[in-house]
Amino acid sequence: MSALAFLDTNVLLYCFDDRDPVKRERAQAWVRACWQRYCGRTSIQVLNEFYANARKKFPTALSAGDARSEIRRYQHWKPWAIDHATMETAWAIESRQGFSYWDALILAAAQQQGCNYLISEDMQHGQQVDSVRILNPFMVGPEVLDEPQA
């Protein structure tokens, strides 16, 4: 069974970024691997950020309707809704590790879903935060999902 991977907003956005074809292909490979392995996870926070940024950065490439369709597709990943327990976990991560509150909230949502990995360009590659390891999708490929978990 594949490891569970939480995809951050930047990975979802790069799937539509025509300005950087290399990053677009890498991001698409991660998303594709998560669909194929049934191991993708995300949160309502990430999907809201995706919608707002996609509409701002790619208004001609991604219409409002297309962005909404993408978000509806990700409903199959059962995106995590932020609750009190998630906020408490985020506050602990923020205090202990020094992450911004928003990054800590993403890490907390990944933990709440039992994810092994957080796939993000915005945090330190390889850093372990409790049960979640941060991976930069442009430094490692999705084949890591098939590696045995410790």
Task: Please check whether residue 74 is in contact with residue 51, taking contact to mean a CB–CB distance below 8 angstroms.
Answer: no
The pLDDT confidence band at residue 57, using thresholds 50, 70 and 90, is confident
Task: Please check whether residue 46 is in contact with residue 82, taking contact to mean a CB–CB distance below 8 angstroms.
Answer: no
Supply the Cα-derived Rg of the chain in whole angstroms: 15
The pLDDT confidence band at residue 149, using thresholds 50, 70 and 90, is confident
pLDDT of 1: 63
Sorted by where each begins, the domain ranges of the chain are 5-81+115-145
Question: What are phi and psi for residue 7, nearest 5 degrees?
Answer: -100, 130
Average pLDDT on 110-136 reads: 97
Give which of 41, 42, 39, 16 is closest to 27, Cα–Cα.
16
Using the predicted structure, report yes or no on whether residue 63 has a pLDDT greater than 90: no
pTM for the model stands at 0.94
What tokens does 77 get? 């990943």
As a whole number of angstroms, the distance between CA 108 and CA 19 comes to 31
Average pLDDT on 65-77 reads: 95
As a whole number of angstroms, the distance between CA 104 and CA 120 comes to 13
